[in-house]
Amino acid sequence: MHLNTIKLLLTFCLLLIGTTAMAAIVPAAPDIDATAYLVMDYNSGRILAEKDIDKRVEPASLTKMMTTYVVTNEILEGNIKMTDLVTISERAWRMEGSRMFVEVNKQVPVEDLLKGVIIQSGNDASVALAEHIAGTEEVFAEVMNQYAAKLGMTNTHFTNSTGLPDPNHYSTARDLSILGVAMIRDHPDIYTWHSQKEFMFNGIKQDNRNLLLWRDNSVDGIKTGHTETAGYCLVSSAVRDGMRLVTVIMGTPSMESRARGSASLLNFAFRFFETHKLYSPGDVITSTPVWKGETNMLNLGVTRELWVTVPRGQYKQLKPVTEITPTIIAPVSKNTEYGKVKLMLDEQELASAPLVALDAVNEGSILTRIKDEVKLLLQ
């Protein structure tokens, strides 16, 4: 082979190696001036950058995410209707802070009040809805805490529906990301309201305080928050090329800093990571022997979608590893767990899920059971 040809081939190989190496590079996450923050993939749940995500923080108006979640559940369960008229109490009318300017003793539809909470962050609307559902805001806060426990928000406690400061009113960046994911997953129709840039009520037009809605078309929510003690906070979500991210940023010094910080986290995660769905419920991941049954093989799969987030360019390096119960004896019930599947990148486990029986297997005939018993004894 000609010497120049050899040199060209070597150069080409080196370029391929270099390209592969570059694809695996993930730099450090942006340095955000915030008390706590995180960016996570919505589908896989993998946290891609974080700081003090379990530190107790004041959630300010991010509290209204839970207010919205509870109200929407009440609507879906048929306990209240969008068209219900809510009489505005003097307490709701007198609420300080951000308001949608409802008038005392006037009747306002639930739908308008809910939009006032989501788009305008109205404290008056939050209290009016809380009183309509639970009688008092204090009882409504107890309902909020029950929902928080159900969602797995283990470091959160609410005392009001608005987020006004209280020593016993707190959350964490991790818990708020759990709530953000639940809002998108459980209430997709109402979630679309979080992308509305403005809302007109009582002759007054107010803008959504989430600056990212004007700057990034991929952003479709979720909620801003601010008090003097909490600083400026933002839970955001965006979708690019089918990949959804959720960010939480707490305790920044200004509206601009929370917007820029959230944008930096989104851009970092979208640039350097990719997310794929590996398995759906019902997919046969592997098969394993089953003894003393009417069939001798058992198909195993998962009960939920299994997603994985990897550094860009590393998807093909991902390896599924299965761990299966050594001896499975019929009868077998559908969805019984018989091991797990792990998704490994080099030595790192990125995701895992239980492996379950995809079908039931009844006991085999007497002859089949005797034969398999002998084989098991010989083993």
- Catalytic residue IDs: 61, 64, 121
- Between the CA of residue 343 and those of 26, 272, 277, 307, 353, what are the distances in Å? 19, 19, 12, 10, 9
CB contact burial 11-45 (16+ within 10 A = b; e otherwise): eeeeeeeeeeeeeeeeeebeebebbbbbbbbbbbe
| Cis bond upstream, residue 331 (ω within 30) | yes
**Other CB atoms within 10 Å distance of the CB of residue 199:** 19
How would you classify residue 102: left for phi > 0, otherwise alpha for psi between -120 and 50, otherwise beta? beta
DSSP string covering 112-165: HHHHHHHTT--HHHHHHHHHHHHSSHHHHHHHHHHHHHHHT-TT-B-S-SS---
Q: State how far the Cα of 197 lies from the Cα of 221, in Å rounded to an integer.
A: 10
Residues in contact with 378: Cβ distance below 8 Å, sequence separation at least 6, in sequence order: none
